[in-house]
């Protein structure tokens, strides 16, 4: 929540509160009384839209028969506050059919609360004082470094014939900052909207190369949302140390790191043949770590024998699976597993075996299933020091299942 605005009030011409939202607990509940007594009931109401009473500042504007009042307890950018009011009123009018008055507020107070939560009062303190609630001033490091990790989980459900039934990627950008002073960072990604906006601002065609469409993006509070909405760039003053900058989701153009081709044959009531080929689709110079393939078998499994071209395999009775582990899995390779499974013969009528899906676990460093890439990471600080930036990528298995 913003550090500049402590509260926002919507009042009618009598000074009655129509709706309000408290962002901080550094102001008392008598702020409305102070506004009525020292501003509304005096002749100075229309002379100056900014008044200081006690330790608080009041920024107010009249729209139709409604006063919008922003209360702050610290130094703040007045122009930024009034810009927020104008933009908020325009947003409300777009939802209320062009009207914004006392009746419109009373009829839509639930929607207004939701819109206020989606469009928080801007953090104006930074623009004047350089202070932000998530970072203290006076930080000094001998070596100024930024570590950025893009961590993705790929989810897949594939049919036994190799067609994709469901696929998506959930990702997050984790940062660890050891930077002196109050730096301003700018992050550029290869997302489609951001590249198109950049080309418009610079009046030139967009650069060639793969672009991706980010869905369901959420940001840390340090990100300048106004700048993101207008320029589609991720600009922020980072917290000190480790934090999650943003989360996102991808549903189109997913690069699957592995393809699994299973063949399972039931030979009568007491035998099965299992053949599984796993192909790594990522580059030959890359590799996956900690790969585990869990191949389901019936509960009445009595004995198994294996042949694998890479890694090790064993039967794990507690989960009714053949577990195939490959510690280091190079790209563009196709290891195989062949197994013979002996089943316990029972006199009871055999129920058909509902084959659960094959499951995979893995981590692939320096690979993103979404194709997301960092185009640039710029650090600016008034002292002009040099920084070292480190960027890493890793894709992990989420729910990665293949029907067999």
For residue range 65-117, list pLDDT tens digits in order.
Answer: 999 998 887 777 788 888 888 888 888 888 788 889 998 888 877 778 767 76
pLDDT at 44: 62
Range with the lowest mean pLDDT among 4-13, 269-278, 361-370? Answer: 4-13
Contact 304, 340 (CB under 8 A): yes
CA distance 233 to 379: 14
- The residue ranges of every structural domain in the chain are 7-120, 145-252+377-394, 258-365
Architecture per CATH, 7-120: 2-Layer Sandwich (3.30)
Per-residue pLDDT at 124 exceeds 50: no
Of 21-25, 133-137, 205-209, 292-296, the range with the lowest mean pLDDT is 205-209
The CATH architecture annotation of domain 145-252+377-394 reads: Sandwich (2.60)
| In the predicted structure, residue 211 carries a pLDDT above the cut 70 | yes
Contact present, 156 and 170 (Cβ < 8 Å): no
> 258-365 sits in which CATH class?
mainly beta
> Would you say residue 49 has pLDDT above 90?
no
For residues 171-182, give the mean pLDDT. 96
| pLDDT at position 129 | 41
Per-residue pLDDT, 126: 43
User: What pLDDT, on a 0 to 100 scale, did the predictor assign at position 128?
Assistant: 40
* pLDDT for res 196: 58
pLDDT of residue 87: 85
Terminal Cα distance for the chain, rounded: 49
CA-to-CA separations, 341 to 266, 272, 308, 309, 318, in angstroms, rounded: 9, 5, 15, 18, 16
What is the residue whose two structure tokens read 């480790």?
242
| Strand bridging mode 388-402 / 145-158 | parallel
pLDDT at 403 exceeding the cut of 80 = yes
Q: Tell whether the model's pLDDT for residue 165 goes beyond 90.
A: yes
Question: How far, CA to CA in Å, does 290 sit from each of 315, 330, 380?
Answer: 18, 12, 39
pLDDT of 401 strictly over 50: yes
Give the mean model confidence (pLDDT) for residues 280-290. 96
- What is the average pLDDT value for the chain, to the nearest integer? 85
Nearest to 323 by CA among 274, 257, 279: 274
Percent of the chain's residues with pLDDT above 70: 86
Q: Check if 7-120 and 258-365 are the same fold.
A: no
Q: How far apart are CA 291 and CA 325, in angstroms?
A: 6
User: What does the pLDDT average to over 305-328?
Assistant: 96
């Amino acid at each position: 929540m913003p550090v500049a605005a402590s509260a926002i009030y919507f009042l009618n011409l009598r000074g009655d509160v129509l709706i309000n939202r408290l962002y901080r607990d550094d102001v008392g509940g008598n702020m409305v009384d102070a506004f009525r007594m020292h501003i509304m009931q005096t002749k100075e109401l229309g002379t100056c839209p900014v008044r200081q009473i006690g330790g608080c500042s009041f920024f107010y504007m009249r729209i139709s028969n409604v006063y919008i009042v922003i209360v702050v307890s610290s130094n703040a950018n007045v122009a930024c506050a009034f810009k927020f009011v104008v933009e908020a009123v325009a947003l409300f009018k777009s939802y209320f059919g062009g009207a914004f008055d006392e009746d419109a507020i009373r009829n839509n107070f639930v929607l207004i609360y939701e819109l206020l939560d989606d469009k928080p009062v801007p953090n104006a303190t930074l623009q004047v004082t350089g202070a932000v609630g998530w970072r203290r001033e006076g930080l000094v490091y001998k070596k100024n470094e930024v570590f950025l990790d893009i961590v993705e989980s790929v989810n897949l459900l594939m049919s036994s014939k190799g067609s994709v039934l469901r696929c998506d990627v959930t990702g997050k950008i984790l940062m660890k900052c050891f930077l002196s002073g109050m730096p301003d960072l700018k992050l550029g990604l290869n997302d489609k909207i951001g590249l198109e906006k950049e080309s418009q601002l610079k009046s030139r065609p967009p650069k060639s190369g793969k672009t991706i469409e980010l869905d369901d993006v959420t940001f840390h509070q340090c990100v300048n949302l106004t700048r993101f909405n207008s320029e589609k760039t991720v600009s922020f003053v980072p917290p000190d140390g480790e934090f999650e900058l943003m989360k996102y989701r991808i549903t189109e153009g997913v690069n699957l790191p592995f393809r699994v081709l299973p063949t399972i044959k039931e030979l009568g009531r007491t035998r099965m043949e299992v053949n599984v080929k796993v192909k790594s689709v990522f580059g030959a110079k890359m590799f996956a770590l900690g790969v585990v393939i869990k191949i389901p078998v019936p509960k009445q499994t009595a004995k198994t024998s294996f042949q694998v071209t890479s890694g090790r395999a064993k039967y794990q009775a507690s989960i009714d699976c053949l577990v195939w582990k490959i510690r280091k899995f190079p790209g563009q390779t196709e290891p195989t597993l062949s197994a013979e499974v002996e089943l316990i013969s029972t006199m009871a009528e055999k129920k058909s075996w509902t084959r659960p899906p094959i499951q995979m676990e893995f981590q692939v460093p320096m690979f993103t299933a979404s194709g997301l890439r960092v185009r640039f990471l710029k650090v600016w600080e008034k002292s002009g020091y040099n920084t070292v930036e480190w960027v890493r990528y890793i894709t992990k298995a989420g729910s990665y299942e293949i029907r067999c």
